[in-house]
Amino acid sequence: MTETCSIHQQVPPMIEHFDHITVVISDVEAAKHFFGLLGFKEDKAVVIKGPVFSSYMGVEGIEAEHITLALENCSPRIEVQLLKYRQPVPLPAPTTGNLAKLGFNHICFAVDNLDAEVDRLKAAGIKLRNEVITFHRRKLIFLCGPDGITVELAEWL
């Protein structure tokens, strides 16, 4: 009897590509400015509220500004979504910038010329968390992002 199914068959991956990250922020304009310096442009802005969003997000009585930023001419599409709560008041996160905590650590974007980007961002007032290092065939730097989040830039060597 011939087997028609093999345990060695490749199963196609379920994930196609990275879609977006959502960042809860306190200052919409400051966050748009920061991500704008990285090349993100505002694509749409809406207010989310009501029972559908409360149920989906698991946040009773949610009302929040939801701003979608996207990299132009990028395929696949890459988005940063900003969420500014009107209700409820967001919980403080005193350890957001502590990279030794459990949970979200940082997001990293690839760049063509890390040194040029660092110079440009420093000139625009963006603070760096560290010095450039080389690790796993990449030059890397951490930036201080909005509301204490950490954003990394990487140049593949």
Q: What is the pLDDT of residues 89-130, one digit of tens each?
A: 999 888 999 999 999 899 999 999 999 999 999 999 999 999
What ranges do the domains of the chain cover?
A: 18-90, 105-157
Query: Which CATH number does 105-157 carry?
Result: 3.10.180.10
Question: Whole-angstrom Cα distance, residue 134 to residue 58?
Answer: 41
CB atoms within 10 A of CB 149: 21
Are the C-beta atoms of 143 and 97 separated by less than 8 Å?
A: no
Are the C-beta atoms of 135 and 24 separated by less than 8 Å?
A: no
CB atoms within 10 A of CB 106: 14
Strand arrangement, sheet containing 63-71? 20-24, 79-87, 63-71, 40-49
Do domains 18-90 and 105-157 share one topology? The answer is: yes
Whether pTM > 0.95 for this model: the answer is no
18-90 adopts what CATH topology? 2,3-Dihydroxybiphenyl 1,2-Dioxygenase; domain 1 (3.10.180)
